[in-house]
């Protein structure tokens, strides 16, 4: 049966009683020492008045009287009183505690408060520290006039230790009484709180657990009617909050998993711009340690422009898009999109790495510009020759024949350019490796040398295939032949009269930088086949070496066009090597020649 705990509140007057008792104790502790001191002062003054008749008059009011001091000493023997006789000018005439030479050495007492008051009003008192006895003392002084018309001061002193002892004794009694009262009140309070507030404590503990996020905490509904309603409400709230928290946590985990799996970098800040969340892609882009603790964006990313973007988004709430180029940990071009979270509770920045797309766009623009330029030159020449012929040059047989031949040459140049472009397109589309077969590199090298033999003889350049092994690779014969022919044509074109070109074939142990060769039949790769083409030509400047494999790049543009080159030869060599899982290396020295080295995975038949 539920019952109300309201009647128990009738015990509340105990607390005002306790407060009154405590107040009385405080007032007593303040007033008791003061009252005792006043009583002691009055009593000491009365003692001084009585001593006037008992204390003999000093023989001289000019100098100390040791005999009188001895008599005063005997008078107060067995007590803690001190009697001092002081002349009106402050000179000490006799003192019950200073005998012999000590009496003469005493200081002038005219400035002592009690002496000064006695001179002014006839009597005085003071509580102070005595320099003579080195203890706190209560003094009472009285002006004495004898029948002979002489006057002096009689001072009676008593140490405060006696009064302090009495005060401490009474204080201990007071403290004991207060402690007993406090114990009684505490006992009553404990009994009340134990029986009355234990259910409330259980409810508070449950509410505290909910505040820490423990919504699974269970508790017993109190019997008291007033608390039972509170307990039931807490249970409903805990159940509802637990369900909501579970839903929020599930959504948060889903969001974190989504953000963590994004290829774009994601950064979330609070309204002050401090980092709340960042994913691994953001850490990789900006070189932030994966275990970095949240903090300032500038401390983590070390990028001022990113901080500026966040501040602008937080200040005006507008979505902003910027492009950013960072140099560390690697050079990247980034596209940043910043927007606010809700009612400007923070900001979110999405970072996309557009380095590759920017490079592709730049390469596409360069390619279109280069192709347009390469096509425009022969087309302009063809147009010029054709217009000249149409304007009457056909009548001149020699001129017509010469111009017609030039038109044919330019058409051949266009055909070669288009063929090279188609080859590059086929290689980039990986069509070159659709049909593979074992290819003898020495045989291909010999065929390529025969192809350039006429051109080499015309330029007085000796081309030699150095005797040696005949490595075999699994590849595309047409593409590999094009690799040889392009390298040899360049070696002959950019050589000097009387120069030489050497082709060396060999093999080396497996290259850790190279993946395994494609082997449809399952034949394992065995090391690397090495192709070296060395010439004694004009050489390549060191600054141009990183770019010679770019499409349409020419070290000497004028000479390259005169030689009829398309600017795509070395680009084709590079793509053929890469299509065969290989690579190209180059070494060159101006005036002494160049050496191109191609490494291809070597094929080995299963035996």
| Residue range 417-437, pLDDT digits in tens | 777 777 777 776 654 466 788
- pLDDT tens digit sequence for 339-368: 888 666 788 888 888 888 887 787 777 777
Mean pLDDT of the region 263-273: 83
Calculate the CA 158 to chain-centre distance.
73
Please report the pLDDT score of residue 530 as a whole number: 94
Please report the pLDDT score of residue 536 as a whole number: 93
CA distance 107 to 104: 9
Exposure string for 113-151, b = 16+ CB within 10 A, e = fewer: ebbbbbbeeebbbbeeebebeeeebbbbbbbbeeeeeee
Q: Does residue 38 have a pLDDT over 80?
A: no
Please report the pLDDT score of residue 2 as a whole number: 47
How many residues are present in the chain?
607
Please report the pLDDT score of residue 182 as a whole number: 67
505 burial via Cβ count (<10 Å: 0-12, 13-18, 19+): buried
Structure tokens at 58: 């000093």
CA distance 149 to 151: 7
Structure tokens at 288: 């932030």
CA distance 228 to 222: 5
Ramachandran assignment for 344, one of left (phi > 0), alpha (psi -120 to 50 degrees), beta (any other) = left
Structure tokens at 494: 């950019």
Task: Identify which of 219-228, 370-379, 449-458 has the greatest average pLDDT.
Answer: 449-458
Mean pLDDT of the region 427-455: 82
Q: Does residue 523 have a pLDDT over 60?
A: no
CA distance 52 to 594: 134
- What is the second-level CATH architecture of the domain 16-166? 2-Layer Sandwich (3.30)
Give the chain's count of helices (H) and strands (E).
Answer: 17, 17
Domain 358-423, what fold?
Answer: Helix Hairpins (1.10.287)
Direct distance between the N- and C-terminal alpha carbons of the chain, in angstroms, rounded to an integer: 97
Mean pLDDT of the region 317-325: 85
Query: Does 336 or 14 have the greater pLDDT score?
Result: 336
Mean pLDDT of the region 524-545: 85
Please report the pLDDT score of residue 51 as a whole number: 74
Please report the pLDDT score of residue 280 as a whole number: 81
Lowest-pLDDT range, 6-15, 62-71, 288-297? 6-15
Please report the pLDDT score of residue 81 as a whole number: 84
Q: Does residue 521 have a pLDDT over 60?
A: no
CA distance 24 to 497: 125
Q: Does residue 496 have a pLDDT over 60?
A: yes
Return the H-helix or E-strand segment holding 39. Answer: helix 14-54
The CA-CA-CA angle for residues 105, 111, 112, to 5°, reads 80
- What is each CA distance from 58 to 52, 63, 72, 98, in whole angstroms? 12, 10, 11, 15
Q: Does residue 469 have a pLDDT over 70?
A: yes
Q: Do domains 262-353 and 432-603 have the same CATH topology?
A: no
Task: Identify which of 281-285, 568-572, 583-587 has the greatest average pLDDT.
Answer: 583-587
Return the H-helix or E-strand segment holding 265. Answer: strand 265-270
Report whether 438 contacts 603 (CB < 8 A). Answer: yes
- What is the second-level CATH architecture of the domain 262-353? 2-Layer Sandwich (3.30)
pLDDT band at 32, cuts 50/70/90?
low
Return the H-helix or E-strand segment holding 210. Answer: helix 198-211
Please report the pLDDT score of residue 488 as a whole number: 94
Report whether 553 contacts 565 (CB < 8 A). Answer: no
pLDDT band at 535, cuts 50/70/90?
very high
Q: Does residue 522 have a pLDDT over 50?
A: no
Mean pLDDT of the region 100-109: 82
Q: Where are the beta strands (DSSP E) in 448-604?
A: 462-465, 472-475, 500-508, 525-535, 583-589, 593-603
% helix, strand, coil for the chain, step of 5: 50, 20, 30
Query: Edge to edge, what strands does the sheet with 346-353 contain?
Result: 275-278, 265-270, 346-353, 332-340, 320-326
The domain segmentation of the chain, as residue ranges, is: 16-166, 207-253, 262-353, 358-423, 432-603
Please report the pLDDT score of residue 33 as a whole number: 66
Reduce the DSSP state of residue 516 to 3 states and report it: coil
Report whether 454 contacts 499 (CB < 8 A). Answer: no
Please report the pLDDT score of residue 61 as a whole number: 80
Query: Does 546 or 551 have the greater pLDDT score?
Result: 546
Please report the pLDDT score of residue 306 as a whole number: 80
Percent of the chain exceeding pLDDT 70 equals 79
pLDDT band at 444, cuts 50/70/90?
very high
Cross-strand bridge partners of residue 586: 596
595 burial via Cβ count (<10 Å: 0-12, 13-18, 19+): middle
- What is each CA distance from 442 to 144, 364, 473, in whole angstroms? 145, 37, 11
Mean pLDDT of the region 289-312: 73
What is the rounded radius of gyration, in angstroms, for the C-alpha atoms of the chain?
Answer: 57
Show the 3-state SS of 368-429. HHHHHHHHHHHHHHHHHHHHHHHCCHHHCHHHHHHHHHHHHHHHHHHHHHHHHHHHHHHHHC
Query: Does 95 or 29 have the greater pLDDT score?
Result: 95
CA distance 246 to 263: 28
Mean pLDDT of the region 395-423: 79
Please report the pLDDT score of residue 98 as a whole number: 83
Phi, psi of 555 (to 5 degrees): -70, -50
Please report the pLDDT score of residue 219 as a whole number: 67
Sign (positive or negative) of CA dihedral 473, 477, 482, 484: positive
Please report the pLDDT score of residue 525 as a whole number: 46
Mean pLDDT of the region 593-604: 90
Please report the pLDDT score of residue 562 as a whole number: 56
Task: Identify which of 266-270, 327-331, 359-363 has the greatest average pLDDT.
Answer: 266-270
Q: Where are the beta strands (DSSP E) in 279-360?
A: 320-326, 332-340, 346-353
Lowest-pLDDT range, 438-447, 483-492, 517-526, 563-572? 517-526
Q: Does residue 534 have a pLDDT over 90?
A: yes
pLDDT band at 112, cuts 50/70/90?
confident
Please report the pLDDT score of residue 463 as a whole number: 94
- pLDDT mean across residues, the chain: 78
Q: Does residue 10 have a pLDDT over 50?
A: no
**CATH numeric code, 432-603:** 3.30.565.10
CA distance 301 to 279: 13
Q: Does residue 140 have a pLDDT over 80?
A: yes
Q: Where are the beta strands (DSSP E) in 111-178?
A: 123-130, 135-145, 151-159
Q: Does residue 596 have a pLDDT over 90?
A: yes
Lowest-pLDDT range, 218-222, 257-261, 543-547? 218-222
């Amino acid at each position: 049966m539920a019952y109300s705990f309201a009647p128990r509140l009738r015990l509340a007057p105990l607390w005002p009683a306790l407060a009154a008792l405590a107040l009385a104790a405080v007032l007593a502790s303040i007033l008791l020492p003061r009252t005792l001191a006043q009583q002691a002062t009055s009593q000491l003054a009365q003692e001084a008045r009585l001593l006037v008749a008992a204390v003999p008059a000093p023989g001289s009011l000019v100098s100390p009287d040791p005999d009188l001091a001895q008599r005063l000493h005997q008078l107060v023997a067995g007590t803690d009183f001190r009697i001092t006789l002081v002349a009106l000018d402050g000179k000490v005439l006799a003192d019950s505690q200073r005998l012999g030479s000590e009496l003469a050495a005493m200081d002038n007492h005219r400035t002592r408060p009690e002496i000064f008051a006695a001179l002014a009003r006839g009597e005085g008192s003071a509580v102070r520290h005595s320099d003579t006895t080195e203890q706190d003392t209560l003094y009472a002084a009285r002006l004495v006039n004898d029948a002979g018309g002489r006057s002096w001061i009689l001072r009676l002193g008593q140490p405060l230790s006696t009064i302090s002892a009495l005060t401490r004794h009474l204080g201990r009694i007071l403290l004991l009484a207060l402690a007993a009262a406090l114990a009684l009140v505490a006992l009553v309070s404990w009994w009340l709180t134990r029986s009355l507030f234990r259910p409330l404590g259980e409810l508070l503990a449950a509410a505290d657990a909910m505040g820490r996020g423990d919504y699974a905490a269970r508790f017993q509904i109190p019997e008291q009617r007033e608390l039972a309603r509170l307990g039931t409400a807490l249970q409903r709230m805990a159940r509802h909050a637990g369900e909501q928290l579970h839903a929020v946590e599930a959504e948060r985990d889903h969001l974190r998993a989504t953000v963590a799996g994004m290829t774009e970098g994601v950064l979330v800040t609070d309204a002050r711009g401090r980092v709340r969340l960042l994913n691994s892609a953001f850490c990789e882009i900006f070189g932030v340690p994966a275990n970095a603790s949240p903090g300032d964006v500038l401390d983590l990313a070390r990028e001022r422009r990113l901080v500026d973007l966040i501040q602008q988004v937080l200040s005006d709430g507008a979505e902003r898009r910027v492009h950013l180029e960072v140099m560390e940990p690697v050079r990247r071009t980034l596209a940043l999109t910043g927007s606010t979270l809700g009612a400007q509770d923070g900001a979110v920045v999405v970072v996309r790495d557009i380095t590759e797309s920017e490079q592709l766009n730049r390469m596409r623009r360069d390619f279109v510009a280069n192709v347009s330029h390469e096509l425009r030159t022969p087309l302009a020449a063809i147009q010029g020759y054709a217009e000249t012929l149409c304007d009457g040059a056909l009548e001149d047989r020699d001129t017509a024949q010469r111009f017609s031949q030039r038109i044919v040459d330019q058409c051949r140049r266009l055909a070669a350019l288009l063929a090279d472009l188609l080859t590059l397109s086929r290689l980039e589309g990986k069509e070159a490796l659709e049909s593979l077969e074992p290819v003898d590199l020495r045989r291909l090298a010999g065929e390529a040398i025969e192809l350039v033999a006429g051109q080499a003889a015309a330029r007085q350049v000796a081309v030699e295939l150095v005797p040696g092994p005949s490595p075999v690779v699994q590849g595309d014969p047409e593409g590999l032949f094009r690799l040889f022919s392009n390298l040899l044509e360049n070696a002959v074109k950019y050589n000097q009269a009387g120069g030489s070109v050497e082709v060396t074939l060999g093999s080396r142990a497996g290259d850790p930088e190279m993946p395994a060769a494609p082997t449809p039949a399952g034949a394992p790769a065995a090391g690397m086949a090495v192709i070296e083409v060395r010439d004694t030509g004009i050489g390549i400047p060191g600054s141009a070496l990183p770019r010679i494999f770019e499409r349409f790049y020419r070290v000497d543009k004028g000479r390259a066009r005169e030689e009829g080159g398309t600017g795509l030869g070395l680009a084709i060599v590079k793509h053929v090597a890469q299509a065969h899982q290989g690579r190209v290396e180059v070494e060159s020295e101006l005036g002494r020649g160049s050496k191109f080295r191609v490494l291809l995975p070597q094929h080995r038949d299963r035996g």
